[in-house]
Amino acid sequence: MRERTRIFFLILIMAAVGVIGGGGTVGVLYLVAFDPLTAMNSGAVVKIDIAEIRTQFMLAAVIVSALAVVVNVAGWILILRVTAPIIRRLQKSEKRFNAVADAATDAIIAAGSSGEIVSWNKGASLVFGYAEEEILGSPLTRLIPDRFKEAHETAMKRARETGKTSLVGKTVELAGIRKDGSEFPLELSLGSWTVGGETFFTGIVRDITGRKRIEAQLIQAEKMAAIGTMTAGIGHEINNPLYAILGLAEAVRDENNISESREHGREIIKYSRQISAIVKNLSGYVQPAEKHDLETVDVNKIIAEAVAMIRRTLLNDHIEIREDLAPLPGIPAKPEEIQQVFFNVIRNGIQAMEDKGVMEIAGRLEEGRCISIRISDTGKGISAKNLEKIFDPFFTTKGPDEGEGLGLYVVQKIINKYSGTIAFESREGKGTVCTIKFPVEGKLTEENS
């Protein structure tokens, strides 16, 4: 035992000072270690026959190797015991998510900041028509109409540079393209998440074709109800020029003077054009908006047309409408829908004033970002309780022959469609102020990207 201890001790010495030589007689291998002894100005030389330590050295190597294997195995066992529950929980969570995602009828789509689709549920296949294997890895632009692709690319570039997009956390209405090339309206809710420094986006897409169809029917129903409340005024406006035309026609029949007959003819043409303008305004108002594409709408012109229709059908001599409209840029919209917005709001104000009052309509451009139209009346006002309900469908304080309670509901839907806002301020007995805002042309796409 002491001999073995000495040998291991010498091995340690050699390891500390370094092996400085080797060799010996033929067939015998030696190790020589030199340790300087400074105080004696000399050194100590140790020579060991490798044969003497080989057995002990190999035993130590086997022990060390065995220990390393044991430690390695123990480490893996520990890692597996710690991570196994985590892995099981992750697998369970993944299965639960996949089950929920695949059960959803809405499309749930995930994409990286590069715009490539990385996740696609069964609902997405139902909505867009693509199977998962044919769409994964494709760019999102495959699902986007051509007119929106440039705005989408700009938004994705901004997301890559800043990690942010203005749509995250919002629900917006857009349009999508199916596999068969057909376009449809959709509602998008967008969220984001980050893994390994890369940002991903998850969108929940709902096909709102059916809802849009119902909304269009409600809008048309409200138009018809509005026309019903104006029937008496319309009849009066058309009858007046008709009576004049009838009288002039009789005068032409009995007139022998050709110059007088020509003058009567000019009057008949003037009154006929007046009737034509009334009918044109009404037919334009009741025409379904889906028949037209977006165009640049002159808001001042639309307001003037709505006021003209109101003057012909609802006004009496004791109600005054004052207009103060600054020059305004156009907005991208359908003119029939914007006309319906202002006609409904102006009509409500006129009805609230009953037989006497003043309405003021002012238009301004606010900081170049949006147009603001302020419509105020001196009517009876709206109670605080009712002010909370004015946008609810079928809510009305009017009589049974004055509307179905869809007017402001429809107005809000149209304004939201064009990223606008509508707000009311009112005091009972003092009147009401309605403020409508629309983003100016060129801002709509950018702000909704």
> Does pLDDT of 178 surpass 70?
yes
- pLDDT higher for 183 or 369? 183
Range scoring the smallest mean pLDDT among 189-193, 195-199, 384-388:
195-199
> What is the distance of C-alpha 189 from the center of its chain?
6
The Cα diameter of the chain in Å comes to: 158
Give pLDDT, residue 79.
73
In this prediction the pTM is: 0.49
| d(C-alpha 252, C-alpha 357), whole Å | 43
Distance CA 444, CA 442 (A): 6
Q: Which amino acid is at 1?
A: M
15 versus 285: the higher-pLDDT residue is 285
Pick the CATH number of 212-447 from 3.90.1570.10, 3.40.50.720, 3.30.565.10, 2.40.30.40: 3.30.565.10
Predicted local confidence at residue 13, as pLDDT: 42
Q: Is residue 139 a contact partner of residue 160, using CB atoms and an 8 Å limit?
A: no
Angle between helix axes 335-353 and 299-313 (nearest 10 degrees) is: 40
Residue 402: what pLDDT? 56
pLDDT at 186 over 70: yes
Please, what is the end-to-end C-alpha distance for the chain in angstroms? 84
Among 221, 220, 213, 173, which residue's Cα sits nearest to residue 418?
173
CA–CA distance, 299 with 335 (Å, rounded to integer): 9
Distance of CA 148 to the CA centre of its chain: 13
**In this model, does residue 191 exceed pLDDT 70?**
yes
Asked whether the predicted pLDDT for residue 128 surpasses 70, the reply is yes
pLDDT value of position 143? 92
Q: How confident is the model at residue 432 (pLDDT cuts 50, 70, 90)?
A: very high
The reported pLDDT for the residue numbered 34 is 47
- The residue ranges of every structural domain in the chain are 2-78, 104-207, 212-447
Stretch 4-28: mean pLDDT, rounded? 42
Average pLDDT over residues 152-157: 80
Least confident interval from 34-38, 389-393, 413-417: 34-38
Reported as a pLDDT band with limits 50, 70 and 90, residue 21 is: very low
How confident is the model at residue 447, as a pLDDT? Answer: 37
Query: What pLDDT, on the 0 to 100 scale, is given for residue 441?
Result: 58
Return the higher-pLDDT residue of 289 and 178.
Answer: 178
Examine the pLDDT at 98 and tell me if it is beyond 80.
no
184-188, 288-292, 353-357: lowest mean pLDDT where?
Answer: 288-292
Share the mean pLDDT of the chain: 75
CA 307 – CA 240 distance, rounded (Å): 19
Return the pLDDT at 22. 42
Give the confidence band of 400 by pLDDT, cuts at 50, 70, 90: low
The 10 Å Cβ neighbour count of residue 339 is: 22
Q: Which residues contact 248 (CB under 8 A, 6 or more apart)?
A: 264, 265, 267, 268, 271
Q: What is the pLDDT of residue 362?
A: 94
DSSP assignment of 172-241: EEEEEE-TTS-EEEEEEEEEEEEETTEEEEEEEEEE-HHHHHHHHHHHHHHHHHHHHHTHHHHHHHHHHH
Class of domain 104-207: alpha beta
Task: Say if strands 319-325 and 357-366 run parallel, antiparallel, or are unpaired.
Answer: parallel
pLDDT for 314: 63
Is residue 347 pLDDT above 60, yes or no? Answer: yes
Q: Band of the pLDDT at 300, cuts 50, 70, 90?
A: very high
Binning pLDDT at 50, 70 and 90, where does residue 201 land? confident
Burial pattern 165-200, b for ≥16 Cβ within 10 A else e, equals bebeeeeebbebbeeeeeeebbbbbbebeeeeeebe
CA distance 411 to 438: 13
Residue 198 predicted with pLDDT over 90:
no
Please tell me the predicted confidence (pLDDT) of residue 176. Answer: 92
Indicate the angle between helix axes 258-286 and 209-229, nearest 10 degrees. Answer: 140
- For residue 393, pLDDT over 80 is answered with no
